[in-house]
């Protein structure tokens, strides 16, 4: 994820974070800052910048006594939309009457697939601004998750 903000004193601040590895980099005025530790950056003139938060909880820069919000935290509805595949697989996969209609894998394997769908959905939702698109993405990922669990259940039953 890449985020660019304008600051009146520092100019253009560019923050990048890899959602999978957690690797972070910070550029101020087009120059990459040195990173002596995981959450501390140093400017060319020796000013210390501390990084707090992450991709999901929002990120802030602490420069002296000033706090600059770089990325916002996830909204409550993004968490709810992302949890739908996991909840669906857990409920459907463990209910015998529902599995008689359409069998899907539940339990640990279904939970792992649902958990992976949760993470992928949350990552995708963070990149989209429009709420209607967020809902479409959540429905699509839920459908793919359900299909994968269905195909695995068919393979197990065969």
Q: Which residues have a Cβ under 8 Å from the Cβ of 32 and sit 6 or more positions away?
A: 25, 26
User: Does residue 145 surpass a pLDDT of 90?
Assistant: yes
Kindly report the pTM of this predicted structure. Answer: 0.78
- Residue 146: predicted pLDDT: 97
Separation of alpha carbons 111 and 95, rounded Å: 14
pLDDT bracket for residue 124 (50, 70, 90): very high
- Residue 115: predicted pLDDT: 95
Q: At what angle do helices 107-126 and 131-157 cross, to 10 degrees?
A: 160
Under a CB-based contact definition with an 8 Å cutoff, are residues 89 and 146 in contact? yes
Under a CB-based contact definition with an 8 Å cutoff, are residues 45 and 53 in contact? no
Mean pLDDT, range 97-107, rounded to an integer: 93
Mean pLDDT, range 49-65, rounded to an integer: 84
Nearest C-alpha neighbor of 41 from the set 55, 58, 23, 27: 27
């Amino acid at each position: 994820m890449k985020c660019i903000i304008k600051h009146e004193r520092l100019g253009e601040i560019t923050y990048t974070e890899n959602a999978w590895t957690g690797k972070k980099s910070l550029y101020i005025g087009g120059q990459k800052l040195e990173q002596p530790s995981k959450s501390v950056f140093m400017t060319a003139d020796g000013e210390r910048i501390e990084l707090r938060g992450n991709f999901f909880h929002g990120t802030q820069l602490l420069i002296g006594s000033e706090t600059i919000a770089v990325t916002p935290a996830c909204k409550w509805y993004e968490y709810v939309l992302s949890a739908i595949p996991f909840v669906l697989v857990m409920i459907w996969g463990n209910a015998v009457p529902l599995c008689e209609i359409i069998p899907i894998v539940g339990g640990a394997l279904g939970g792992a697939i649902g958990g992976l769908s949760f993470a992928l959905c949350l990552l995708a939702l963070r990149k989209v601004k429009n709420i209607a698109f967020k809902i479409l993405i959540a429905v699509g990922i839920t459908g793919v998750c359900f299909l994968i669990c269905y195909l695995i259940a068919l393979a197990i039953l065969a």
